[in-house]
């Protein structure tokens, strides 16, 4: 039986989050099998949650609360997005539906790059931001944050990752997030930061004192 539910339907995100939790929780939860014990929300017949929050933390909590209540298991959710300096922090919480339809990565990338086509390189600063939330059926709640600063490229590069990964080059790197291997990306990513910070709370929710 699952022990933890990830409140996402994104298969790329599930793979990424399982890897991060394996790294972060392995030393705390001997015998944890993320393939068996950590499942996505598609394992349950649940409707999508309306992400009506105006911050990443609010949306992460909305999703985690709903899934914990409906499944009776600890639930972890994140809300992540891209904040662009010259757009005043947009697309922000609208990152996944920037082009109008939720989850259309290609359309979102095309629109963003078109909006920034005349912006010089020196002003193409941006950051990936993540809020990760844990909610237990007993009502315990924790939220942690992560941030990956970088610059936006003028065209996508790389076949890895998802979302805006092909256009963000992390500060100090010459490769986009989509050109990093999964271990490299997880070591520096906004989600990696947030979920590593959340890991002790997750361990305790699974009955392990850290």
- Catalytic residue list: 79
Sign of CA dihedral 81, 103, 171, 123: negative
Q: Collapse the DSSP code of 139 into the 3-class scheme (helix H, G, I; strand E, B; otherwise coil) and give the result.
A: coil
Q: Give the Å distances, CA to CA, from 71 to 4, 41, 122.
A: 10, 9, 48
CB 170 within 8 A of CB 150: yes
CB 149 within 8 A of CB 127: yes
**Residue where the block lists tokens 């994140």:** 78
CB 105 within 8 A of CB 55: no
Q: Collapse the DSSP code of 169 into the 3-class scheme (helix H, G, I; strand E, B; otherwise coil) and give the result.
A: strand
The closest of 88, 79, 85, 82 to 54, measured between CA atoms, is 79
**Cα separation of 14 and 21, whole Å?**
10
Question: Which positions ≥6 away from 114 have C-beta within 8 Å?
Answer: none
What kind and span of H or E run contains 37?
A: helix 34-37
């Amino acid at each position: 039986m699952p022990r933890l539910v990830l409140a996402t339907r994104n298969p790329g995100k599930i793979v990424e989050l399982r890897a991060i939790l394996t790294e972060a929780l392995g030393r705390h939860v001997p015998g944890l099998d993320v393939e068996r014990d950590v499942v996505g929300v598609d394992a349950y017949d649940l409707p999508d949650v309306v992400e009506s929050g105006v911050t990443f933390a609010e949306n992460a909590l909305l999703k985690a609360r709903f899934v914990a209540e409906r499944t009776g298991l600890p639930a972890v959710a994140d809300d992540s997005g891209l904040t662009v300096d010259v757009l005043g922090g947009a697309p922000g919480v609208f990152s996944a539906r920037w082009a109008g339809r939720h989850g259309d990565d290609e359309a979102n990338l095309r629109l963003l790059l078109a909006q920034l086509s005349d912006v010089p390189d020196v002003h193409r600063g941006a950051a990936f931001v993540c809020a990760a939330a844990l909610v237990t059926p007993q009502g315990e709640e924790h939220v942690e944050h992560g941030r990956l600063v970088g610059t936006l490229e003028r065209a996508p590069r790389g076949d890895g990752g998802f979302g805006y990964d092909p256009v963000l080059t992390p500060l100090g790197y010459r490769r986009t997030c989509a050109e990093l291997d999964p271990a490299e990306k997880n070591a520096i990513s906004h989600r990696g930061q947030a979920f590593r910070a959340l890991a002790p709370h997750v361990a305790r929710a699974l009955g392990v004192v850290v």
